[in-house]
Structure 1
């Protein structure tokens, strides 16, 4: 039995402590911001307190700003967004009050005014979600307050002042909470997380090399599991670093003589992580094939790999030096690949060579600062030259740009229309239920608004409703315990704010439920003179449910798309992006990188929609097949990584070598394109029953569906033939190389060609897994049918043929 590896224990402890300190610190600062709002609302001078009529909005602003910002720079940015939201929400209201006097307005007039102003706010596409929500909240409160004070003569300028003052108090409390007792600076957080990321990366390199050099499958599997755990932690650190680096420049005064913070760009850290992901893919392939890497690697090379991992760890310590020092790169290459590899005859040797390719790529990224291996010499050819037939003329790009702009404006108008109708209905029904507290329904709808939301409507609404109920119950209980002592109430609020701050990261409630729970308890415990707590809590809950019902109703009426439906469409779109990428494998590097970026973004969107659909209630619909979608996303994500390494390998090859393997690549592209096109068409079928009825209605035609049916080809056998042919052509081109070509260049050629073969084999394997996943998905949607995927493909093609015949009939 292998001994447990205790070398990663300090890293796990540092990671756990850092995570615990970060979350606890955020919770305590959120509670401090709420206490500051309570103190300002209850104990500030009378001249200030008489303008703070809306402490609930102060609490909401403080929680929004602190929750969205994890550093002083982030809070400053959020406070700036809140200030912009005040202007965006109040200026239209003041103009409206100048044209229409607020005295004598009705509920319908108030709802129409809120709808028009909210449309203006949402259509302006303000920067940041905090700006939008604060501006919409300002609109709701100003107009509902004017309706509540009907009959009172009041200067126009005094209507927005209490709302703006309450919002400013919340934003100021949030900034102060991130300053005291010491400032929580983003630059220090980035530095701390970067150091932890580098330490974990060094450990990942050591673990992966040990797994590759392991003599037994048990030791290799144990090391792989450790590497996956470290990779998950590194991914979280990288996401946090990416978010924090956007707040660093908000902490630095605009003075040129001050030194810039020495932080490593997250792009460089991400570039270092990609080769490690490739090494993990290679090890997984070695483990699944039950073959030891010793077939392609000798003992001397294993020793060189161990030495190289130590060298990479040493270079990672100095990664903060940017631009990096290139000293020691030549010596590292001399120590690497002590025995030169050759193009293998056996396909089982490809994972080992791909591991070596990723190791060398990692070395270049560490030494060159996120660069890649140097392109190979290409005498007689200019590889970087872009031929005219590969470039798209400006005249062809212009219509696409215009269409993209039209789609963007259409999407913005739809989102603004939904926001306008939602807030208008919420305010109308809210003031009908309670004239004094009618703005709660509008505020609930304003906080729930998310522009260009992907479709997860029921999940956040349900979490927000549950969180509001929990916070109201806690607030009522706290009010009964401390009926008249406001100091005790504020103390009772602290543990609840800490608890809800941790609740933000739970799957059940998330940010929406935690925000509702925090605000509901804060507005009951942090204010006075609102009547009996029980009555206020019941009215607050009722108004909240009015706002949520209006949001859901408008969402279902204007855009009745569930997250599961959007996940299905995004899956089809992702398959289409894969087909587009196939056309750019031999394109210029910049275009290939753009396609790879689009594919990665599509995979990320699919992952988010799968998570949203899994948390969405089913109601009368079939349960969402989360397991099937998870497998499909896993195959798609792995294809994205293989696409990256295939593009990297192609970029390093000279044109002469690319021409030698061009036929094999074209065969591979045709095979993948045919399969993915069929999958895309099958996924687009919404209902098999409707398609069957449509085919029965066109049965009078003489076209026989059986004519389009062909026995499926063995994808594994075809893939092996393609890879074997590619390796054979690679050996031939290697034999034709001039003797003057250095050994390092030949080694790089071998690794690149072997990497291309491995990526082709891996992509075809994931295509086969995608086929299984789609079959499982359709079978789960039609549990009482015996699904034959190839039969569905033939029927889809037959329906397309009938549709084309129907369109061509009038022309004839």
Structure 2
């Protein structure tokens, strides 16, 4: 079972492997044969390469890291030898070295196919080679200097692989398999807790069980991320998996599918008004408990399956229970029964699998016929986006490294390496909290340097014992890397700061070296911050507002396409999947901007309203989950109604009306948010609204008083009507003339699916109300002097 102690064991294991790798580097560079040490002139970069590769790594990750090191060596060494031959080592000035570093880093950063680790190592090698040419001058060999840099880097990669082999191979495959089983067990516990909560006798017991299930849900999300992180390492250990079907090599996707019904069960329970559930009786309780055992057996078989070798989870043997008892109970007129119905619907999904029992062949063929065209267009868009992003990233790396090397050499020629190396190993392709990362790296460097100085002072007469003091520090910094205060940047800076003092010789007085290096690191970080601000002047809080508007537009598009799907428009299913992916993408981007804005200093700006944004993200993710279930339900109802000969148009009309309403609401909210973001003064906004309003009235001949109110807070009654209308539909379906056994089963499932769809549309409208409420609060917070009233703005926009 995955417990709270598991992260401690994992981090301790990672710490000891890092200790072993650094010990291999230290013993080789300090006590190795002279014939070997003569080629290891840059032991500091050996440590840097080791830390970049070995931290939280497996054997597969180390193999991949060695490939990145080899790729970086080839990229850097050959061009550097040519430049040193053409210009001559004695011809490198500070300015010329900075220019060459900037141009070389630009060329290395530009290709999008190169892995970030390879780029980081290559950046560091570039800095060492060309700064070394300035520092050493005529003593620099055209070939010897690049070879020394290459061998020092290779030592770090070799030490990383050796560390992964002792005391036994630390395989990514084994770790991923273990985490997959942890996740399946986690899902099983969550499922059992939710079923127990559904059958609870009082509110307190149900609430406690739901809380426990949420804790398991958070642990499960971490396990899924861990599986994704280990996937690439598995492919390096078993490269033949790359040629197999994607579903065989990516167990995380299968586990995500297994998680969706459980997530729906949790959502259903959180909306239940009271416990015990009113519809619960002995017959239903018995059916639920029987289904619980069978689903637990299915999850157990998933745990015992080989996640990277089996294409699909093994099928459970035996017959499922007869669920007619709970499908009959879906025939109800009580609005409060919608949540229990949806819970049972999710249990049925979990038991039978997420696929419908009927297929729409024509739609599948249409989807296949258009798939290649859509993929071609999407690939072209991705290429254009990636090329633009890669160009900006290359410019950022070039400017930062060039300036850091230039000012670092001007300040202190002998220690000019560190200003460039500091930023070279810290580049990321995506946005990051610039000030927070720079602050964590500066603090980590200072902490590691001070620790090294203190150790040198305490053991100044026993220099051979200094290296042993690195071992507890490496263990400590491994845990520091996972802390919220310092993170990966601060942890890596702390361990490297101590390694450069205690793990090397002949660098001068420790105190002077530490002070000089801290100053060089500060120069590099200043250049890093300046270029980041120049390349990305917009604050994360501003980007979060803009991304919120884009997310609302993506949500609006989803509702529009679902309406087409409900009306069975051609190719709507393929469009719908694309819009769903787009919504999830924007939701993740919004969440990233929120996390970055929380770490961003306020300066003279208003504090970031993280509580409001977090509630908005929570509602958007909940809407995305509800849309996932709604799409499945609409597809099933459409197909099942044709088989049973039930009139689909009436059900379709109810769905279309609610989707049209939601489409209108989200569109209005997005338009309003855009207007507030773009228009800077209240007078300008009022003038613009008045102009559009008058124009609309003259053309349509309607009075503005006839506009519909867009306030969702006054629509509680309409929410009840949604549930009641779908409950009435279940009565109509259940009254259909009885047929054979297959038709009866299909009809009972259709009844349950109708109640589930009523629940989803009900909660979609509730979440729309929550989104409007939070946006109203956000606009007031962001515009304290403009006296904005969201409901009035929406009403005016509705008439334009």
- TM-score, structure 2 normalization: 0.89
The 8 Å contact of residues 710 and 794 in structure 2, kept in 1 or not, is answered as no
C-alpha separation between the residues in 2 aligned to 1:128 and 1:412? 12
Judging changes above 3 Å, is the alpha-carbon distance between structure 1 residues 399 and 182 closer, same or farther for their aligned structure 2 residues?
closer
Does 1:76 pair with 2:63?
Answer: yes
* Residue from 623, 629, 640 that aligns with 1:645: 629
2:424 alignment partner in structure 1: 446
C-alpha separation between the residues in 1 aligned to 2:46 and 2:674? 47
SS at match of 1:334: coil
User: How far 1:244 sits from its partner (Å)?
Assistant: 1.8
Comparing 93-102 and 534-543, the one that deviates more: 93-102
Judging changes above 3 Å, is the alpha-carbon distance between structure 1 residues 63 and 718 closer, same or farther for their aligned structure 2 residues?
same
C-alpha separation between the residues in 1 aligned to 2:239 and 2:113? 25
Does 1:416 pair with 2:403?
Answer: no
* Residue from 453, 471, 493 that aligns with 1:516: 493
Greater percentage in helix:
2
User: How far 1:75 sits from its partner (Å)?
Assistant: 1.5
* Residue from 503, 506, 519 that aligns with 1:542: 519
C-alpha separation between the residues in 1 aligned to 2:412 and 2:479? 34
1:283 alignment partner in structure 2: 269
The 8 Å contact of residues 200 and 275 in structure 2, kept in 1 or not, is answered as no
- For residues 757-776 of structure 1, what are the structure 2 equivalents within 5 Å? 757-776=758-777
1:368 alignment partner in structure 2: none
C-alpha separation between the residues in 2 aligned to 1:512 and 1:737? 68
1:592 alignment partner in structure 2: 576
Comparing 731-740 and 416-425, the one that deviates more: 731-740
User: How far 1:350 sits from its partner (Å)?
Assistant: 0.9
Judging changes above 3 Å, is the alpha-carbon distance between structure 1 residues 739 and 230 closer, same or farther for their aligned structure 2 residues?
same
1:807 alignment partner in structure 2: none
Judging changes above 3 Å, is the alpha-carbon distance between structure 1 residues 771 and 313 closer, same or farther for their aligned structure 2 residues?
same
Does 1:312 pair with 2:310?
Answer: no
C-alpha separation between the residues in 2 aligned to 1:747 and 1:606? 41
* Residue from 165, 168, 192 that aligns with 1:179: 165
User: How far 1:694 sits from its partner (Å)?
Assistant: 3.0
Judging changes above 3 Å, is the alpha-carbon distance between structure 1 residues 794 and 107 closer, same or farther for their aligned structure 2 residues?
farther
C-alpha separation between the residues in 2 aligned to 1:427 and 1:203? 55
Q: Which segments of 5 or more consecutive residues in structure 2 lack a partner in the other structure?
A: 243-247, 566-570, 698-702
1:3 alignment partner in structure 2: none
The 8 Å contact of residues 452 and 497 in structure 2, kept in 1 or not, is answered as yes
C-alpha separation between the residues in 2 aligned to 1:593 and 1:343? 32
- Deviation string for 1:369-406 (max 9, x for gaps)? xxx243348xxx85645669x98798888666544432
C-alpha separation between the residues in 1 aligned to 2:268 and 2:687? 51
- For residues 319-468 of structure 1, what are the structure 2 equivalents within 5 Å? 319=302, 320-321=304-305, 322=310, 323-328=312-317, 331-334=319-322, 337=325, 340-365=328-353, 372-376=354-358, 384=363, 401-451=379-429, 453-468=430-445
1:721 alignment partner in structure 2: 721
Judging changes above 3 Å, is the alpha-carbon distance between structure 1 residues 794 and 438 closer, same or farther for their aligned structure 2 residues?
farther
C-alpha separation between the residues in 2 aligned to 1:272 and 1:405? 33
User: How far 1:648 sits from its partner (Å)?
Assistant: 2.0
C-alpha separation between the residues in 2 aligned to 1:560 and 1:691? 22
The 8 Å contact of residues 738 and 744 in structure 2, kept in 1 or not, is answered as no
C-alpha separation between the residues in 2 aligned to 1:458 and 1:96? 36
Judging changes above 3 Å, is the alpha-carbon distance between structure 1 residues 458 and 685 closer, same or farther for their aligned structure 2 residues?
farther
1:188 alignment partner in structure 2: 174
Equivalent pairs, count: 768
SS at match of 1:344: coil
Judging changes above 3 Å, is the alpha-carbon distance between structure 1 residues 387 and 715 closer, same or farther for their aligned structure 2 residues?
farther
Does 1:673 pair with 2:656?
Answer: no
C-alpha separation between the residues in 2 aligned to 1:92 and 1:649? 60
1:203 alignment partner in structure 2: 189
Does 1:223 pair with 2:209?
Answer: yes
- Deviation string for 1:98-124 (max 9, x for gaps)? 433232221111111111101001101
2:49 alignment partner in structure 1: 61
C-alpha separation between the residues in 1 aligned to 2:324 and 2:211? 26
Comparing 558-567 and 735-744, the one that deviates more: 735-744
C-alpha separation between the residues in 1 aligned to 2:19 and 2:398? 33
C-alpha separation between the residues in 1 aligned to 2:540 and 2:147? 41
Comparing 122-131 and 247-256, the one that deviates more: 247-256
Comparing 708-717 and 580-589, the one that deviates more: 708-717
Judging changes above 3 Å, is the alpha-carbon distance between structure 1 residues 58 and 336 closer, same or farther for their aligned structure 2 residues?
farther
The 8 Å contact of residues 21 and 163 in structure 2, kept in 1 or not, is answered as yes
Comparing 275-284 and 737-746, the one that deviates more: 737-746
SS at match of 2:118: helix
The 8 Å contact of residues 467 and 516 in structure 1, kept in 2 or not, is answered as yes
SS at match of 2:582: helix
Q: Which segments of 5 or more consecutive residues in structure 1 lack a partner in the other structure?
A: 1-10, 257-261, 366-371, 802-812
C-alpha separation between the residues in 2 aligned to 1:114 and 1:537? 25
Judging changes above 3 Å, is the alpha-carbon distance between structure 1 residues 764 and 469 closer, same or farther for their aligned structure 2 residues?
same
User: How far 1:421 sits from its partner (Å)?
Assistant: 0.8
C-alpha separation between the residues in 2 aligned to 1:15 and 1:263? 26
Judging changes above 3 Å, is the alpha-carbon distance between structure 1 residues 703 and 484 closer, same or farther for their aligned structure 2 residues?
same
Comparing 764-773 and 101-110, the one that deviates more: 101-110
Comparing 533-542 and 781-790, the one that deviates more: 781-790
- TM-score, structure 1 normalization: 0.88
SS at match of 2:271: helix
SS at match of 1:15: coil
Judging changes above 3 Å, is the alpha-carbon distance between structure 1 residues 646 and 18 closer, same or farther for their aligned structure 2 residues?
same
SS at match of 1:293: coil
Does 1:615 pair with 2:599?
Answer: yes
- Deviation string for 1:595-643 (max 9, x for gaps)? 3233223222222222221112222222111111111111111111111
C-alpha separation between the residues in 2 aligned to 1:697 and 1:304? 63
SS at match of 2:792: helix
1:133 alignment partner in structure 2: 120
SS at match of 2:460: coil
User: How far 1:563 sits from its partner (Å)?
Assistant: 2.1
The 8 Å contact of residues 25 and 155 in structure 2, kept in 1 or not, is answered as yes
User: How far 1:688 sits from its partner (Å)?
Assistant: 8.1
Does 1:272 pair with 2:258?
Answer: yes
The 8 Å contact of residues 183 and 224 in structure 2, kept in 1 or not, is answered as yes
Comparing 588-597 and 84-93, the one that deviates more: 588-597
